[in-house]
Structure 1
């Protein structure tokens, strides 16, 4: 599957794919934020890609019927509907009957591979070194403010400035510094020599707001995080920041569907020995810990869908654990029933072994679910106060 793209990038990517196939392209924006990518070829053929560029879009049967009528009226030879979201079952049926090609992110990935269009996709997915680091940290659950990335106009220039400071060894901006001598005396040694490691630490410590441009400082902090706990204390960042968290449980989730998911679930999690909900404290059983998972669930289907708490489980060391009921409270109001297009937050709790190293959230029912880790969601157990 191709990665999620910004809406404008998704449309541009579709246009470039057709250019690679010999089409002359124009793009028309529609009032509902969809796009028509219109193509003409030298042999007289005409084609249109009806693009739904957001991941929240659901292409319905009505959309397909309207598009088919449009293509018939305009004598379109090649009709395509593409989305980063999902296709309703009715839309798939109409497309099969009317020879309309459907492209979701999974199908587009196959198109890229079969056509050898990796270079086209790379233009829209290649990230800078900083962006890759930030994406990795965010995947680990570390909140990296957007301002950190936005404050650095050019990562390459910033990295070059950092390297120059490290090479000088003392943070001195003067032209009189003996750069060659500093490199010879304190260049890092891959042998693991403690003195060599100390040289790296000393040079990192020497970087300051006085000797570096302000835009470079965020990069130093991010790089220090990636290097780990050994350099964290040297920068005064503290152990928990450098080690990436203090609960020790690595939590992931397994999706049962991709772009065509019925339920789109953005989630975040934390562990706790006790939870307090509306003034009542619940303690985890002996030798266990609570795993609290809060989710923003969106029903992408055209009909009501039940995202049931009883169908969720967590797997730790090969054992599955159902949710842990808390007396008198629940994070799944209305039994997890979601109306078409409805989004709301729910939460659930599991009791898992306290010495567990990793946990996997999964759906045991037949519902097609796409899980996406979202560190902006605060994992907490809350219920409205009764009046």
Structure 2
């Protein structure tokens, strides 16, 4: 049933299969060609599928044990490993001990038939190898021409960020419930946020709000994104928990249309504007504000604010905030 499905479509199919069961899902591709499908339900249940899409894969006991241990640390309720290859006998024993459900092609085909989801398989097979959800990561766009009439200050475009996640034994996006949509009270693309840690491991709470705008006005300058792009402005109010927390712009990326974008840096910015984008250092129980700006293609379908692996482990809460830039 899965022989004709492209390896890059396999994790996308698993995500869609989970969505039909009421999960909100997200697919993350790792540097080694493996994938993680994260799932979230309204009742707070978390799920994670570790995906080895190659038909030549053989997964052993140690890989399953590492995956189970990682799920234990991150508070994952539903643990699944899936492959178009095979699991060893030792892997199946380790899965029983670690409460991990294994899906090889035969087991997955049985699940598809039980759920009557054959049409879904065909949907991801008929398209051929169209590439993975995140396999197109362009080079950083360069600023376009400077329009006349307005003193537009050039911006320095940060490199596109490819989010690092490991298949097992490392750091991965652990899901929190999606929160909010739109930005700044205006209708527009839906926005969500991912935290890098399970609730019990968060070090601080980050109230956040977002808006989309064609230019950014500061005390002394007006900035515009490259041609064909728009700014996404994120305001964060961070409150530390039991220990001091440091939050920087570099801790975040914005995932939009299958590409993950790094924050923008601005030339000739005033000291006041730089302070609004400077790192937040908050003592236990204290708060600080941070402004993060991204530049993404116009007409994007929606976006997710993502805390990267080097972040302090925040719990995101959507709120209506005052912005530190117009």
Using the size of structure 2 for normalisation, the TM-score is: 0.40
Using the size of structure 1 for normalisation, the TM-score is: 0.34
Q: Which has the higher contact order (CA 8 A, sep 6+)?
A: 2
Higher strand share: 2
Higher helix share: 1
